[in-house]
Amino acid sequence: MTDIDVTGAELAESLEAVGETEPLVQALTNEVTMNDVANLILHWGALPVMADSPGDAGEMAEAASAVLVNTGQVPDGKIDAMHEAVETANERGIPVVLDPVGVGSTPTRESVAEGLLSAAEFSIIKGNYGEISALAGVEAQVKGVESVGDYDEIERAARSLSDSTGAIVVASGVEDVVADADSAYRLAAGHEMLGEVVGTGCMLGATLAAFGGAVDDEHAAALHGTLAFGLAGERAAEMDYAGPASYRTNFHDAVYGFAADATADGDRDLEFDLEHRVERIV
């Protein structure tokens, strides 16, 4: 991986790029989190479209700037739609983000993810520690869609998966890891309340698709998108909240605030202190 500039100024520029270009993000995601995914794409300044049925999925990918494939639910029709969308995206050379939700928990989910990976190329693969380890062929514990257990070698697993797929890999956890085949960055941003809200992992996938559709360098899109997501989680915790439901609302508002600040006339009202937040491991 070429060294990516992760200064506050570069992060603000990526945020601004999303708002200015308004990329159309086609999201094939699960019904549990569909509304949150659509809203978060919109709050970053991108345009969401949830075209996930056979026929329509491939046609919509003809106009999209990025495609998000989330395997949280895998009925046959949706699997067919996923293949249509990613095939069209690959033909057009637009970025595709894979979020292999729950892979490692059932053979069916593993089969769906492996089928997608064998049929298409992905720009970014995002999963929790357990999902990324399972895809990399490393022992993992995934209970339902949650990662459990210890993952001391997560950087190595992420690099291995990147090497076998050619994608930038984002492994989300207490600290997030962004890796390619040769190197890995560890990011310290976020808040524990993100883990108390169903769907924040899906929303991170949506964030990466929004950034991927606007930022030409997929490495920068993955790093900046992951950082922005974590920082929004911290900002949400600075607002008053009574529990997970109000924190969830705060999080959406925090994302919207970042996007609004980045596209405001005049100087950007965004100052990010990233010292000690980004560490290149290898």
Dihedral of CA atoms 209, 6, 4, 133 in degrees, nearest 10, equals: -60
Q: Is 199 labeled as ligand-binding?
A: yes
Nearest alpha-carbon partner for 70 in 118, 112, 133, 22:
112
Which amino acid would we find at residue 55?
A: G
Work out whether the CA dihedral 70, 75, 77, 79 comes out positive or negative: positive
Q: Is 225 labeled as ligand-binding?
A: no
Nearest alpha-carbon partner for 100 in 248, 245, 205, 247:
205
* Nearest-angstrom CA–CA distance, 156 and 162: 10
Rg (CA), the chain: 17
Nearest alpha-carbon partner for 111 in 74, 144, 140:
74
Which residues are known binding-site members? Answer: 50, 126, 172, 199
Which residues are known binding-site members for substrate? Answer: 50, 199
Which residues are known binding-site members for ATP? Answer: 126, 172
